[in-house]
Chain A
């Protein structure tokens, strides 16, 4: 993984923490500049027109501000967390449907996630991104189609060819630590 990418990932985590702790508008501006245009493009590929995508991308970034204290860097990178917010906004706005979710598990005021765990997760996320980038075009196109909402669940293949085992194990470990801290 590139050192630049690692630095960038930890920079986004710091920005989210600055919003959480200090309502830091400069940190928000940095995140907005990087992520809002990506979220807008994602929503347009998912079928939103430019006006709706613009509005929803603003909503996604506003939600990031309001939920900054719920972000856990040992279980998701900033881009993963922002993807989940964007996906939920898309389901509301485009499908006008409901997507019930399991309850958020959070560390609460007395505990903090471990820095080393967060770093390890960022590395796994980056390796996954590289693995996706090196997939054959046809396979990559299928995965993109699934995430842009173009495939029904019966059209999604059971075997994706994605190497998800390591990142799953990382998240599982983080969940075990969190459960231990909660009990």
Chain B
């Protein structure tokens, strides 16, 4: 990474990820940011510690009489988990599971103006997609009903709020109408998750919306 990450996850998203309360598309985007950002990995560790404290101080419920032997049998029936191998792809590990090896394996679909996207298979409740924005090009001006997370994987974009470079994540709520524009010089690739359909301000993208599933 050429410069430190400037835009991080919110406390609410980290706590929800720690608690296991997020839809899959958000889990994927949060996990991919954490894979790129040790600051948020440490903050997640702090939220996980809250869960540990709740387990430690919480109630107990008696286990069945033979359960320890049963657990030990389960433990020995499978091999030890393998040591994780070093990541050699240009894509963080959580995302690799969804696209195959790396970004060259993505099946892009054009959405106009050279912008391309690929919807990733996740469960209901939220949608995850990769967006490819050619250098200098803007994604149509849109607002949100719910929350939109946009994580930069490559290149950089700017919008009305700030500049976002590789590793940065923008957390946009209902109040934000924005026009993300890729910086000149390099194409920008983002991983985005939304939990409600986007609201485009102009007619053409609105008409196209049902076909693009955005």
Contacts and interface: CB of A to CB of B under 8 A. Distances in A.
Contact of A38 (B17, B34, B55, B74): B55
Interface residues of B, number: 71
B176 interface: no
B105 interface: no
Contact of A76 (B13, B21, B52): B52
26 contacts: A33-B68, A62-B72, A66-B78, A76-B52, A83-B51, A83-B55, A87-B18, A87-B19, A87-B51, A98-B24, A99-B22, A100-B32, A100-B98, A102-B35, A103-B92, A103-B93, A103-B94, A146-B16, A147-B19, A149-B20, A153-B13, A153-B26, A156-B12, A164-B43, A164-B46, A168-B42
A159 B81 CA distance: 37
Contact of B22 (A36, A153, A157, A159): A153
A81 B78 CA distance: 20
A80 B54 CA distance: 9
B53 A128 contact: yes
B10 A158 contact: yes
A133 B50 CA distance: 11
Given A32-B71, A58-B74, 6 more contacts: A45-B59, A83-B48, A128-B46, A129-B56, A151-B16, A159-B11
Given A58-B67, A98-B123, A156-B12, A90 B35 contact: no
B31 interface: yes
Q: State the main secondary structure of chain B at its contact with A.
A: helix
A38 B19 CA distance: 16
B47 to A, nearest CB: 7
Contacts of B22: 99, 153
A62 B69 CA distance: 10
Interface of A: 25, 28-29, 32-33, 35-42, 44-45, 50, 53-54, 57-59, 61-62, 64-70, 75-77, 79-84, 86-88, 90-91, 95, 97-104, 106, 108, 124-125, 128-129, 132-133, 143-144, 146-147, 149, 151-154, 156-160, 162, 164, 167-169, 171-172, 175-176, 179
Interface in B2-20: 10-13, 15-20
Contacts of A157: 12
A125 B38 contact: no
A122 B50 CA distance: 13
Contacts of A39: 55
A102 B28 CA distance: 9
Contact of A79 (B20, B53, B64): B53
A158 B12 contact: yes
A62 B75 contact: yes
Nearest to A25: B72
Interface in B123-167: 123, 146-147
A36 B71 contact: yes
